[in-house]
Structure 1
């Protein structure tokens, strides 16, 4: 006994096919979005950081003067020279720096990590959502693009100065809060 041939589905109207294709392309782009990143610069050369700041301020002043006097070719030349100096010093700073890169975690991964580090009863009474003694090192490690382990993160948090340790924590935490979408715009 032979089976009847399956019924063919009617082709969608032209407009639907085009809309479906546009939606499929949009969904593909949405799936391929890169996760937000945050970089923390670590540089112990205070003199170099001071030189960068001075060069950037000098370039900004020269740019302001050049913009205020558009007919002044010498001012435009000075602005270009000041910007070139600032770029050179910024490149020196980049070469003298180490960078730690942190990526936003997918929402379920972040939620699991928070759940794995619940606050103590006292911390919860104070409004904590996670255990501030264990969660920071776990998040820093999980978000580290560079492969920092949880033990290494805990070591840095314990051995760095309070401001530097806070910046390390903030670099990993802030990227988890970054939004790159807008409501009602477009």
Structure 2
């Protein structure tokens, strides 16, 4: 199989994130999958930075982009309703999902879609 065929056969990457229940119940496991590159670019374009954010160098509006990305990347278990971007925004503003948990899910979704090569620079 040649490079063209190998690249065409690639699947979008997936990853699991496990969030422990602070009340001692079962962990909540989230399965995330990258979206196709053209949809990634479109999603970024749908969430432009505010003027203030652009002045700070932001390339998108994190307030609206983060929940929208999670809506697209978090897979829904069979028989459940998918969480919307509004659901994610509400969860991030509530006490039900800690800020670190929300950021962990977002960072995982972002990394799945960014897929930039890791550059390691050695000493001297």
Q: TM-score, normalised by structure 2?
A: 0.76
Paired residues, what number? 111
- Name stretches of at least 5 consecutive residues in structure 2 with no aligned partner: 77-81, 118-124
Q: Could you tell me whether the CA contact under 8 Å between 2:19 and 2:101 is conserved in 1?
A: no
Matched, 1:130 2:60: yes
Matched, 1:44 2:16: no
Give runs of aligned pairs for residues 63-142 of structure 1, distance below 5 A. 96-142=26-72
Q: CA deviation at 1:179?
A: 5.2
Q: Could you tell me whether the CA contact under 8 Å between 1:36 and 1:178 is conserved in 2?
A: no
Which is richer in helix? 1
Structure 1 residue aligned with 2:90: 155
Structure 2 residue aligned with 1:145: 75
Matched, 1:177 2:107: no
Structure 2 residue aligned with 1:31: 8
User: CA separation in 2, counterparts of 1:175 and 1:156?
Assistant: 22
Q: TM-score, normalised by structure 1?
A: 0.53
Deviations 1:126-175 (A, max 9, x none): 00010011010001111122243212211222122222222122121121
User: CA separation in 2, counterparts of 1:164 and 1:144?
Assistant: 14
Root mean square deviation of aligned Cα:
2.4
User: CA separation in 2, counterparts of 1:136 and 1:148?
Assistant: 13
User: CA separation in 2, counterparts of 1:154 and 1:45?
Assistant: 20
Structure 1 residue aligned with 2:121: none
Q: Could you tell me whether the CA contact under 8 Å between 1:123 and 1:131 is conserved in 2?
A: yes
Structure 1 residue aligned with 2:120: none
User: CA separation in 2, counterparts of 1:45 and 1:157?
Assistant: 16
